[in-house]
């Protein structure tokens, strides 16, 4: 496998709250290969966004704090990088697409101003005229019609889908090598979601960027991702190729997620939700943090006493899972076809 | 992605000329409607609304979207008192600006034939004259100039100080916020008049500039609090986070992304500050610690006049009325601006 462009190792992030210390991300490690789309899935609060935001210095500090770990990007550890250096990387080599385009654009600045800002921050020498040309070009790239005119409009004159296109234009303004999409379609209508997926694909083709796709939409993962990281309660519980994850998951949580999907094919009558609630991250359950909700565990002592290590389940590809009894899933093998 | 043609075939300058005339579209050159040229090459069709927009654009009609400011302007002009006040204030400002042209006499010109004349049209002494025969209308006009100048200066300077301190406190939060806000509280607890009197006694008074600076150093506190409050809420907005994620520096985020969103309350309060500054400056001058003679200031004119009691009533009345009119107009304008710029705080529905 090629040298990863971004390599996260043992990242641990804590937040100080009034109720105690919340360990939002614990010992998270994953690699991002050049040109791939890496999906990160998990419930709200599973640490998917925090793991990414913390390496870009975008979590408020305090209360947030990176306890340990590193995020090596092109030979440099982002965690140790001084704020000034990190700022040059943000929006430059590593850019972000935010979840809600309705609130992620400043209402008092025109679309052109905001995309142009992303251009100019990283190319201070660029004249206003050059910036404008580039901005229009970017808007056309993401499929905003009449870009020449719409560049001077304000966000309230844009629909949700158009705004998200503008956000994507902003993110790819400086040809990033890593694009982080934090739930890029969650706030949009289903029909618009499909369009944005196409725009994301186009943006990827244009910039050849690697993409980290944070979402809880497994459909989006199936559509876009090459590999998948499944997170639960701040930990990576399973990591593998997208087909492997969908066809033969080796963690009961992943299986639970797949089973709780509403599907249009098949004659499934009821959804199968995962029982219970995600655990409190202030006082996580001992042992495997998923055991209180796990159908596999069923009160086994091992699950309650020991945190399962990440174990490999394939010799030909990378596929790891954090479950003591993952073999039982393999034996049962109830493939959820994609 | 492949390169793309411009969305409409007609050059923009031509497109502009296509107009809707008496309900008939008059096409200019080639078909103005450019719908088939799909700007989106992802293979997806444009939604119907976009298509209509395309039609509208193609026909040269730009759907006129009103900006927040034009809505604000409409709301302001609906506020009758504010509009009247605006005209009154503009007139007063005009008079003050061209004082030497408008005033019938100089401010220290003596008319020894008309000493202590009551208001009369004779020799243009509309506001009467004082014990030295100086024309009071002229003195009020020149006093107006000094007072307005000081008030504007105070409003601008204290707005600048307050905004800077509030913005820094609100943006950075934590220890910085705590230090700056406790300092603000400290200034706020000072008995204003006592401090002002001490300061002007200490640094010397008389010079309008010096009085202005002293006033501004006291007046910035409410603005600092307001700006901090707005910044605290703006800081959590996604677009600020997005700006951060695109690599913008702190100063850039403060100046370009957050300050413009603070303009509403900022303008309203700066306006009200002008009224406050005029009143306090008048009080200072009245007490003899503000503007010193021979510069006339409205407060000083009242102080001069009150020694003469009710006999020369015009000496107190006219400068006093002027202050009232100015302060009232500014407050009405401030009310109008508040309704216009911050519709959520509206008291009366228009």
Once rounded to an integer, what is the mean pLDDT over residues B222-230?
92
Q: What is the pLDDT of residues A128-185, one digit of tens each?
A: 888 888 899 888 888 888 888 888 888 888 888 888 888 888 888 888 889 898 888 8
Looking at B58, B80, B95, which one is the last position of a domain?
B58
Percent of chain B clearing pLDDT 70 (strictly above): 77
Residue B64 pLDDT class (50, 70, 90 cuts): low
Same domain, B52 and B155: no
Residues shown for chain A: 338
Q: Are residues B229 and B265 in the same domain?
A: yes
Chain A residues closer than 8 Å to B7 by CB? 145-148
Q: Which of A62-66, B15-19, B59-63, B266-270 has the highest mean pLDDT?
A: B266-270
* A148-152, A197-201, B115-119: least confident range: B115-119
Dihedral angle at the C-alpha atoms of A66, A72, A77, A83, nearest 10 degrees?
-70
pLDDT of residue A304: 81
Q: What is the mean pLDDT of residues B283-305?
A: 79
Which CATH number fits the domain that encloses residue B158?
1.10.3720.10
B22 & B120 share domain: no
Separation CA B10–CA A272 (nearest Å) = 57
Give B-chain residues touching A50 at CB under 8 angstroms. Answer: none
Judge whether B170 lies within some domain: yes
Query: How high is the pLDDT of residue B157?
Result: 94
In this structure, the answer to whether residues B98 and B233 fall within a common structural domain is yes
Distance in angstroms (rounded) separating the CA atoms of residues A201 and B44: 13
Quick one: average pLDDT of B220-243?
Answer: 89
Say how far apart CA A21 and CA B27 lie, in whole Å: 68
Whether pLDDT at B17 is above 60? no
Going by pLDDT thresholds of 50, 70 and 90, the confidence category of residue B61 is low
Pair (B192, B285) in one structural domain: yes
User: Residue A191 — very low, low, confident or very high, per pLDDT cuts 50/70/90?
Assistant: confident
Residue A157 lies in a domain: no
Number of domains in chain A: 1
Residue with tokens 């025969």, as numbered in its chain: B133
- A186 min Cα distance to partner chain B (Å): 15
DSSP, residue by residue, A289-301: TTGGG-TTTTT-H
**CATH code: domain of residue A18:** 3.40.50.300
pLDDT classification of B343: cutoffs 50, 70, 90: low
Q: Is the ipTM of this complex over 0.85?
A: no
A32 assigned to some structural domain: yes
pLDDT of residue B344: 59
Characterise B78 by phi-psi region: left (phi > 0), alpha (psi -120 to 50), beta (else): alpha
Question: Nearest CB to A117: which of B12, B241, B246?
Answer: B246
- Whether the per-residue pLDDT at B263 is higher than 50: the answer is yes
Q: Coil, strand or helix: which one is A146?
A: coil
Cα separation of B213 and B61, whole Å? 52
Q: Is residue A193 part of a domain?
A: no
Mean pLDDT confidence for B152-174:
92
Nearest Cβ partner for A149 among B57, B67, B239: B57
The percent of residues in chain A predicted with pLDDT above 70, rounded, is 95
What mean pLDDT value characterizes chain B? 76
Q: Is residue A165 part of a domain?
A: no
Most confident of A229-233, A277-281, B76-80: A229-233
Residue A138 lies in a domain: no
Average pLDDT over residues A262-266: 70
In a domain, A205, yes or no: no
Q: Do B245 and A156 touch (CB under 8 A)?
A: no
Classify residue B172: in a domain, yes or no. yes
pLDDT of B12 over the 50 cut: no
pLDDT in tens, A111-126: 888 888 888 888 888 8
Report the alpha-carbon distance of residue B136 to residue B130 in Å, rounded. 7
The number of C-beta contacts closer than 8 angstroms across A and B is 120
List chain A residues with CB under 8 Å of B47. 191
Residue A119 is assigned to a structural domain of this protein: no
Residues B35 and B159 reside in one and the same domain: no
Taking the CA of residue B346 and the nearest CA in chain A, the distance in Å comes to 21
Q: What is the chain A residue with the closest CA to B263?
A: A108
A61 found inside a domain = yes
Domain span holding position B116: 71-345
φ, ψ for residue B298, nearest 5 deg: -60, -45
Query: Which pLDDT does position A268 carry in this prediction?
Result: 67
Q: Please answer yes or no on whether B46 and A145 come within 8 Å at the CB atom.
A: yes
Residues B46 and B79 in one domain: no
Which range of residues forms the domain containing residue A56?
A: 1-90+226-338
Buried/exposed A224-255: b ≥16 CB within 10 Å, e otherwise: bbbbbbbbbbbbbbbbbbbebbbebbbbbbbb
Domain count, chain B: 2
Same domain, B53 and B79: no
The per-residue pLDDT for range B170-225, each reduced to its tens digit, is: 998 889 999 999 999 999 888 888 888 888 777 766 677 888 888 888 889 989 99
Q: Flag if A146 and B57 touch (Cβ within 8 Å).
A: yes
Asked whether residue B156 falls in the same domain as residue B282, the answer is yes
Say how far apart CA A243 and CA A229 lie, in whole Å: 12
Summarize pLDDT for A284-309 with one digit per residue, the tens: 888 888 888 887 777 777 888 888 88
Q: Which range has the worst mean pLDDT, A28-42, A63-77, B49-63, B156-170?
A: B49-63
Residue of A nearest to B16 (CA): A149
Q: With bands split at pLDDT 50, 70 and 90, how would you rate the model's confidence at A222?
A: confident
Residues A305-318 pLDDT 10s: 888 888 887 777 78
Q: Which residues of B touch A62 (CB under 8 A)?
A: 174
Q: Note whether A144 contacts B239, CB cutoff 8 Å.
A: no
- Residue B246 sits in the same domain as residue B166: yes
Are B32 and B121 in a shared domain? no
Give Cα separations from B267 to A22, B264, B328, B339 (angstroms). Answer: 42, 6, 17, 12
Give yes or no for residue A22 having a pLDDT over 90.
no
Q: CB A154 to CB B65 under 8 A?
A: yes
Contact B85, B330 (CB under 8 A): yes
Same domain membership, residue B149 and residue B53: no
Q: How far apart are CA B282 and CA B274, in angstroms?
A: 12
């Amino acid at each position: 496998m090629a040298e990863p462009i971004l390599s996260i190792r043992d990242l641990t992030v804590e937040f100080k709250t009034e109720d105690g210390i919340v360990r939002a991300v614990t010992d998270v490690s994953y690699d991002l290969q050049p040109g791939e789309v890496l999906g990160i899935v998990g419930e709200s609060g599973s640490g998917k966004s925090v793991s990414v935001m913390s390496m870009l210095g975008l979590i408020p500090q305090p209360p947030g704090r990176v306890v340990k770990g590193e995020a090596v990007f092109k030979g440099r550890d982002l965690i140790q990088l001084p704020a000034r250096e990190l700022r040059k990387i943000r929006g430059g080599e590593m850019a972000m697409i935010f979840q809600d385009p309705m609130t992620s654009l400043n209402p008092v600045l025109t679309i052109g101003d905001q995309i142009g800002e992303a251009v100019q921050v990283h190319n201070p020498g660029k004249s206003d005229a050059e910036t404008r040309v580039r901005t229009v070009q970017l808007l056309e790239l993401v499929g905003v019609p009449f870009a020449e005119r719409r560049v001077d409009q304000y966000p309230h004159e844009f629909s949700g889908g158009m705004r998200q296109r503008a956000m994507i234009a902003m993110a790819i303004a400086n040809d990033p090598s890593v694009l982080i999409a934090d739930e890029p379609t969650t706030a949009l209508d289903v029909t618009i979601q499909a369009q944005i997926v196409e725009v994301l694909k186009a943006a990827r083709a244009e910039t050849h960027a690697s993409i980290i796709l944070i979402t809880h939409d497994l459909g989006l993962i199936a559509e876009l991702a090459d590999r998948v990281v499944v997170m639960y309660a701040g930990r990576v519980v399973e990591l593998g190729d997208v087909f492997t994850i969908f066809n033969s998951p080796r963690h009961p949580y992943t299986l639970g997620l797949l089973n709780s999907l509403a599907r249009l094919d098949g004659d499934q009558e009821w959804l199968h939700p995962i029982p219970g609630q995600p655990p409190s991250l202030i006082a996580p359950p001992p042992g495997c943090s998923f055991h209180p909700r796990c159908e596999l565990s069923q009160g086994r002592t091992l699950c309650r006493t020991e945190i399962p290590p990440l174990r490999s389940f394939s010799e030909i590809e990378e596929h790891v899972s954090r479950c003591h009894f993952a073999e039982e899933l393999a034996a049962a093998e109830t493939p959820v076809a994609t | 992605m492949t390169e793309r043609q411009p969305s409409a075939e007609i050059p923009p300058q031509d497109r502009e000329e296509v107009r809707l005339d008496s309900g008939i579209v008059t096409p200019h050159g080639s078909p103005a409607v450019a719908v088939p040229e799909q700007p989106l090459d992802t293979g997806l069709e444009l939604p119907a609304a976009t298509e209509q927009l395309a039609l509208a654009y193609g026909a040269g009609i730009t759907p006129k979207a009103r900006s927040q400011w034009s809505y604000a302007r409409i709301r302001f002009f609906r506020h009758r008192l504010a509009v009247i006040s605006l005209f009154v204030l503009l007139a007063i400002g005009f008079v003050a600006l061209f004082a030497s042209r408008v005033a019938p006499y100089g401010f220290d010109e003596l008319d020894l034939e008309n000493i202590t004349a009551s208001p009369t049209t004779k020799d243009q002494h509309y506001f009467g004259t004082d014990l030295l025969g100086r024309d009071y209308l002229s003195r009020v006009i020149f006093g107006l100039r000094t007072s307005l100048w000081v008030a504007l200066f105070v409003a601008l300077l204290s707005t600048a100080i307050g905004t800077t301190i509030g913005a820094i406190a609100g943006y950075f939060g934590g220890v910085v916020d705590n230090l700056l806000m406790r300092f603000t509280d400290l200034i706020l607890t000072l008995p204003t008049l006592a401090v002002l009197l001490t300061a002007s006694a200490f640094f010397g008074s008389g010079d309008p500039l010096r009085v202005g600076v002293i006033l501004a150093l006291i007046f910035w506190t409410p603005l600092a609090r307001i700006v901090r409050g707005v910044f605290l809420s703006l800081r959590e907005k996604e677009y600020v986070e997005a700006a951060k994620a695109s690599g913008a520096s702190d100063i850039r985020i403060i100046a370009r992304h957050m300050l413009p969103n603070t303009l509403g309350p900022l303008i309203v309060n700066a306006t009200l500050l002008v009224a406050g500054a005029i009143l306090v400056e008048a009080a200072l001058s009245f007490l003899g610690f503000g503007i010193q003679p021979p510069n006339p200031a409205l407060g000083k004119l009242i102080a001069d006049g009150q020694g003469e009691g009710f006999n020369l009533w015009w000496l107190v009345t006219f400068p006093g009325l002027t202050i009232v009119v100015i302060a009232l107009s500014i407050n009405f304008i401030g009310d109008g601006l508040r309704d216009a710029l911050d519709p959520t705080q509206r008291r009366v529905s228009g």
